[in-house]
Amino acid sequence: MIMSGSASRLPILQEEPCAHAQRQAERAARALAQSEAICRAHRVRLTPIRRRVLEALYATHKPMGAYELAEYLTPPGGRMAPITVYRALDFLIEQGLVHKLASQNAYIASFHVDNAPETTAFLICEACGGVDETTSAELTYAVNSLLNREGFGPRAKLLEIMGRCAHCGGDAISRA
């Protein structure tokens, strides 16, 4: 039984699904199908363990840590070594199906928003825990110009921006 009083005092801590959870549920099946197509195009195998890790990540709108994934995927009475999860994650990251959020030390499944632009920004909401993957041609252009100017050879182009999503009151925070 949840006390209604505490929910109204701390609305951002409520465990009700946020807008991210709703959107994740709507988009997960399509994104998973896209990931499978990418594996076929790359001629690589989505082995059962790789698929289970990927499906676990698509099942939630929040980033998951490797140990959290291992625990989630452990069958009743069984055992799942974190190294097994790490290996699967390495593969999924290499194929561009999963991203590691360094700031969270956790992983999220890709929604493949970056069809043409190469730089992806992750908007990480510290209130609801949801992450939005987004990009634009302008962002990619700006980052590429900056990298050229600095003579820096990027291995990955991921931006992690922490704060509050629109749903959790991000609009109210001054961007000045």
Residues binding Zn ion (CB under 5 A): 18, 20, 125, 127-128, 130, 165, 168
Closest approach of Cβ 134 to Zn ion, in Å? 14
Tell me how far CA of residue 101 lies from CA of 8, 109, 129, 151, 163, in angstroms. 31, 11, 12, 24, 14
Q: Which two tokens stand for residue 128?
A: 């609801």
Q: Among residues 31 and 125, whose Cβ is nearest to Zn ion?
A: 125
Closest approach of Cβ 144 to Zn ion, in Å? 30
- Name which of 98, 85, 94 is nearest 49 in CA terms: 85
- Name which of 133, 128, 147, 123 is nearest 98 in CA terms: 133
Closest approach of Cβ 79 to Zn ion, in Å? 33
Q: Among residues 114 and 132, whose Cβ is nearest to Zn ion?
A: 132
Q: Among residues 17 and 96, whose Cβ is nearest to Zn ion?
A: 17
